[in-house]
Amino acid sequence: MSAHTLVFATNNAHKIEEAQAIVSGQLTLISLKEAGVEIEVDETGTTFFENAFLKAQAVYAATGLPCVADDSGLCVDALNGAPGVYSARYAGEPVNHAANNQKLLQILEGEKNRKASFRTVLCVVGLEGSEGRPLYFDGTVAGEILANPSGFEGFGYDPIFQPEGYRVSFAEMSASQKNALSHRGNAFKSLMRFLELRSEYGAAAHIPPLPVSEFNYDLPTGRIAFEALEPRDSSKLLMYKGAEGSAALTEGEERIKEAQFSDLVDLMEAGDVLVANDTKVIPARLHGRVQGGALVEVFLLNPIDAAWTQWVVMVGNRRKFKEGETVTVSGVAGESGAIRIVWLDRDKNQIEMSHSGEFATMQDAIERLGAVPLPPYIERDVNEGDKERYQAIFAQHAGAVAAPTASLHFTEGLCERLSDKGIRFGYLTLHVGAGTFKPMTSEFANQHDMHAERFAVGIDLLDCLMEAQAEDRRVVAIGTTSMRVLESLYFVGCRLLNGCWEGMVYSGDGYDLGLGMLDGCEISMERSMAAVVAYARSGGGMIQGQTQIFILEGFEFRVVNGLITNFHQPKSTLLMLISAFVRGDWQRIYGFAMGRDFRFLSYGDGSLLWR
């Protein structure tokens, strides 16, 4: 017996039989009759999502049992997606499959474009652990419309639909053949995969299981930049224009070209909005000694309290730092003052610190006694210049333990020239954590434990983004950190509207179809942003939270048109983000960079990528 039982909200015997065959042994579906209800729901929606929701919600209200409903239809390219949600009654009342087929064939007579797809949307209501909101699962199968009906199996449009890669119609296939590739089968498979993974991966169960190995490339040590160039904007800049979007190629123009970062002003247009992360890197590496003299490194990750006396940390030489021990971090000769560190909760990697001597605050003590947290792939000792060079000119709000490295290329002069051209700057804060360097050790993306980072966005930027959207102006994220916050905003709004905002955007939110719906209707970007703006105004002009957002292929970008970024590590979440943004074309971009001696990673060269 399967662990999940759902009422299937349909009276269609063919549909029940087909669905039960698809889910056999993995999910138990009971009919309306078995649930003890007789109900007909008017399908008054204008989308598959809305109709599926109307049916699921009505049956859940009548039974009190978890329920799944579907809405399906045939979408024909030449008819702009028609008959779509009106597929069942395309030829009018009462439902007559033969008449529907005949009408469609008559309309398409002489039409060369016969491409079409079947689509099913499932809506699940009442499932435990779903935050009290519906879940949605989508399934499609591509094919074409035949010139004449062929076959006697199946139902609906099956006799005139030939799936891609086959030479027979759905009506000429056996039930098992059709179920293996049908739209309804694909939707139910998505639902079953989600239920199987949810107990282990939670929200990440929605994330596509992309193989991490597909995002690997050879990065020789010699191509990693161990030192930063001066001046900052003297680094190389790769410019890439995607296949679509607001930066279309002109006649004869190359898709990828090389420039210098100081040329950025020539590659932007008046009215563009550049969004920078104004986090400030703290010297998060504290080197001290225990009473016995052993050297210990305490790497600060996230503060627990506002005074910065309690932190979540990573500890090097941890075995020497035992319960009851104190680590003392002292200054250089001639400087009085020290930081003393004890365990608050060793199992949770939480420490408590106090300071003595000349320091006014704990933040002051950390600033004076800590070392710059250069990334682990910069294999050299920290030097005096790193404290200034591993800090962006936009840095305002202390809290990051890694730099938003795309910002490191900007100079005051470059920013002035960009502003003079009519390019507007906006600012947000995301405190970059050590998790940004966390290697992906899992085989598939959905198995990766995505790190969370703290963010804050003010009302000025929110207003600026809404203006840019209304006026169709381009938004360019300076760095992947800015992009992660910008693309998180839609999901903040969706959670606010659905009543489930608890200060966190989860890793699977970008792939949870239900999160972007309200009462079966899609939440627009405008509606979501309006909810975010209203919430920010009620909270003192700022919205704060954490984001775990995981951007990979399949993600829908709603805010960012362009991205300024460095070149990232193989098999990393950031490389997956780049691939999603450029629609899988990352290998061409990175191949170009390798062939032109670009420098990689944090102190390396930059790129300007357009969708």
- Residues acting as catalytic residues: 71
**Cβ count within 10 A of residue 398:** 16
What is the spatial distance between Cα 556 and Cα 406, in angstroms, rounded to a whole number? 23
Length of the chain: 611
C-alpha distances (whole Å) from 330 to each of 10, 316, 399 are 72, 17, 22
Q: Are 286 and 354 in contact (CB under 8 A)?
A: no
Single-letter residue type at 385: G
Residues 587-590: contacts with CB within 8 Å, 24+ apart? 587/217, 588/255, 588/256, 589/238, 589/240, 589/256, 590/217
104's tokens: 């469609």
What is the spatial distance between Cα 89 and Cα 8, in angstroms, rounded to a whole number? 21
Q: Are 560 and 476 in contact (CB under 8 A)?
A: yes
What is the spatial distance between Cα 185 and Cα 140, in angstroms, rounded to a whole number? 9
Residue in this structure with the two tokens 């919600």, named with its chain if needed: 57
Query: H or E element: which one contains 395?
Result: none
- Per DSSP, what are the bridge partners of residue 564? 478, 608
What is the spatial distance between Cα 166 and Cα 182, in angstroms, rounded to a whole number? 13
What is the spatial distance between Cα 147 and Cα 155, in angstroms, rounded to a whole number? 18
End-to-end CA distance of the chain: 47
What is the spatial distance between Cα 50 and Cα 56, in angstroms, rounded to a whole number? 10
Q: Are 73 and 48 in contact (CB under 8 A)?
A: yes
Vertex 265 angle, CA 263 and 268, to 5° = 115
What is the spatial distance between Cα 437 and Cα 278, in angstroms, rounded to a whole number? 20
Nearest to residue 437, comparing CAs of 474, 486, 488, 402?
Answer: 402
Q: Are 469 and 529 in contact (CB under 8 A)?
A: yes
**Is residue 447 helix, strand or coil?**
helix
What is the spatial distance between Cα 561 and Cα 269, in angstroms, rounded to a whole number? 13
214's tokens: 């597909």
227's tokens: 């030192």
Residue 208 Rama label (left phi>0; alpha psi -120 to 50; beta): beta
167's tokens: 């030479």
**Cβ count within 10 A of residue 504:** 18
Residue in this structure with the two tokens 């191949």, named with its chain if needed: 591
Residue 74 Rama label (left phi>0; alpha psi -120 to 50; beta): beta
Nearest to residue 312, comparing CAs of 401, 196, 383, 429?
Answer: 401
What is the spatial distance between Cα 401 and Cα 238, in angstroms, rounded to a whole number? 27
Would strands 310-316 and 350-356 be described as parallel, antiparallel, or unpaired?
antiparallel
